[in-house]
Structure 1
Amino acid sequence: MRIDLHSHSDVSDGTRPPAEVVRRARANGLDVLALTDHDTTAGWDAARAALPAGLTLVPGIELSCKRDGRSLHLLGYLFDPADPALTAELARVRDDRVHRARGVVARLQELGAPVTWEGVQAVARGEAVGRPHIARAMVAAGVVGSVEEAFTADWLAPGGRAHVDRYALDPERAVRLVTAAGGVAVLAHPRARRRGYVFGDEVIEALAAAGLAGVEIDHPDHAPDDRAALRGLARALGLAGTGSSDDHGALTGDRLGCETTDPDAYAALLAARRAPTAR
């Protein structure tokens, strides 16, 4: 069984519609795929409607969190999307995305970059606007040569000239929200050094104490030594160790299935689910 527990569609910052994501997943030999768009469940219905025979869809999300002033991402799976507490937080995060994106565009203009809000919206095509859309608009305007160049200290990286902070969840609270909504939470790419998502063992230990069910280990941005260290820590903490492509369509080379989750780890996540907490 081939299982990929982290992918994105164009309802957030991927480039493929949810229906195409699930079709590509099956064509790439996957048996299980989690759709985990940033801070939204808007792609679930379209993915379910187009689900090809032989593919199981795990409805999920990638939650924007912040720890010690740094961005941290949390994957939530199989939760109740109507849970009122989680729904309220997601709405707040999405609303602040717009304020942040407008602020970034304003800073870019102050720096002389010919990027407009209308241009960013054209790139986003009705999706929830995020930094990847702004980066693509920067490429289209000739400000930078690539999306990767946009995410440097010169422009959009944390502390960069055009960086703007936004609201994000405390990760321990986010774990509890997902769990209370009947789901399971997995820490996304905690050693993605190239992108700055690097968190020590103490952070993972604290999240485990809050109810974290797993940690993403086999990820394209994780070096072999980091994978080995995370695998040992996951065993010590009783966490499921997952593997995922973190595919964003054309932005990441359409890499669905390039990293996969062991079936035993997937089974452990399913077994860790609890009934939603009554409110």
Structure 2
Amino acid sequence: MPAGPAERPAEGLIDLHTHSTVSDGTQSPRELVRAGVEAGLAVMAITDHDSTAGWAEAFDTARGTGLTVLPGMELSTQLDYASVHVLGYLIDPENPALLAEAEHTREERLHRAESMVARIAKDYDLNWDDVLAQTAPGATVGRPHIADALVAKGFVPDRSAAFGSILHWRGGYYRPHRAPEPTVGIRLIAEAGGVPVIAHPGARGPEQLFAGDRVRALVDAGLMGVEVNHRDNPPEARELWTRRAAEYDLVITGSSDYHGAGKPNVLGENSTAPEQYARIIELGTGSEPFVG
């Protein structure tokens, strides 16, 4: 896929975690890039769940704007029945092993969504067509689309309320989906020439899933970075992961995890330091940033 030269970004915010309608954002890749330009970003990473399908449209829209688009993906993994998301920057979008795993995970997400909707329908006036009506063509249906359907039907006021009640894992309707362990996902990203970064590791508390030797196992598998500055990481988690990043020489990123109207997150609310971004560019070999 054609891309511009990997130059150092101009002065401005570097936001390395955003989503479009290819996964669970509410803006198309074109609209997402335009929003990044309006927000004054220097660099925006497009990191849809288990998909690179939005890259081409994002690159095309960025052309001539001065915005650099960093190609990426947020790969779903699972540890102790909990979701662990691994951001993969500068991956080869045609790597067979990574493509196969991402496709398998998308299929699992779809089956999980169908199962959850069937269970919810026993107690709420909701059906599969209601969910599809909230899903962009080509996107894999997931819990955010179920949440949007619940909002549209008036059962909850917004996505956050849906995830805090009906779609919460304690709500009685939740179903897990199969995904690889984080070490497997990290290896797949690294072998595809990408830079694997654990997303918002403190969202479940500063330790929780990543206590003891587990961090060393992630590093041994090829982990290269950690998303420290994220609204879901409380201060104590940021302090802990900053120390761990120093201990293991990991890249530290900061991001919004922007989903458009799907979440309250705002573009650029957290950003990545230019020197950390430069490390990602040096480490990634599977693709190149597109310089608009």
TM range (shorter): over 0.9
Q: Equivalent residue for 1:168?
A: 179
Which residue of 2 is the match for residue 4 of structure 1?
A: 15
SS at match of 1:85: helix
Rounded to whole Å, the distance in 2 between the matches of 1:188 and 1:210 is: 16
Three-state SS of the structure 1 residue aligned to 2:18 is coil
Are the equivalent residues in 2 in contact too, given 1:175–1:207 (CA < 8 A)? yes
Which deviations, in whole Å up to 9, do the C-alpha atoms of 1:233-277 show, x marking residues without a partner?
A: 10011101100000001122461111100111111122223569x
Counterpart residue type for residue 185 of structure 1: P
Query: Identity of counterpart residues, as a percentage?
Result: 44
Superposition deviation, residue 206 in structure 1:
1.8
**Gap runs ≥5 in structure 1:** none
Q: What residue in structure 2 maps to residue 81 of structure 1?
A: 93
Report what 1:225 is aligned to. Answer: 236
Unaligned runs of 5+ in 2: 1-10, 288-292
Query: Is the alpha carbon distance of 1:9 and 1:229 closer, same or farther for their aligned partners in structure 2, counting shifts above 3 Å?
Result: same
Alignment length, in residue pairs? 273
1:38 aligns with 2:66: no
Please, what TM-score do these two structures have when normalized by structure 2?
0.88
Q: Of residues 137, 152, 175 in structure 2, which corresponds to 1:140?
A: 152
Amino acid at match of 1:250: A
Q: C-alpha distance in 2, partners of 1:68/1:275?
A: 30
2:279 maps to 1:256: no
Paired with 2:280 and 2:259, the residues of 1 have a C-alpha distance of 23
Pairing 1:43-122 to 2, within 5 Å after superposition: 43-51=54-62, 52-110=64-122, 112-122=123-133
Deviations 1:7-63 (A, max 9, x none): 001111101111111111122111111000011111001101100421111110111
What amino acid maps onto 1:176 in structure 2?
Answer: R
SS of the residue aligned with 1:6?
Answer: strand
Residue type of the alignment partner of 2:268 = G
Is the CA contact 1:184–1:272 (under 8 Å) kept in the aligned structure 2?
yes
| 1:19-34 map, 5 Å | 19-34=30-45
Partner of 2:142: 130
Note the aligned Cα RMSD (angstroms): 1.9
Question: Which residue type is aligned with residue 199 of structure 1?
Answer: L
Shift of 1:204: 2.8
> Is the contact between residue 17 and residue 258 of structure 2 (CA under 8 Å) also seen in structure 1?
yes
Write out aligned runs for 1:152-231 (5 A).
Answer: 152=164, 154-193=165-204, 199-202=209-212, 203-231=214-242
Q: Structure 2 vs 1, CA of residues 3 and 201 (structure 1 numbering), >3 Å: closer, same or farther? A: farther
Q: TM-score normalised to the size of structure 1?
A: 0.92
Quote the Cα distance in structure 2 between the aligned partners of 1:149 and 1:25.
Answer: 26
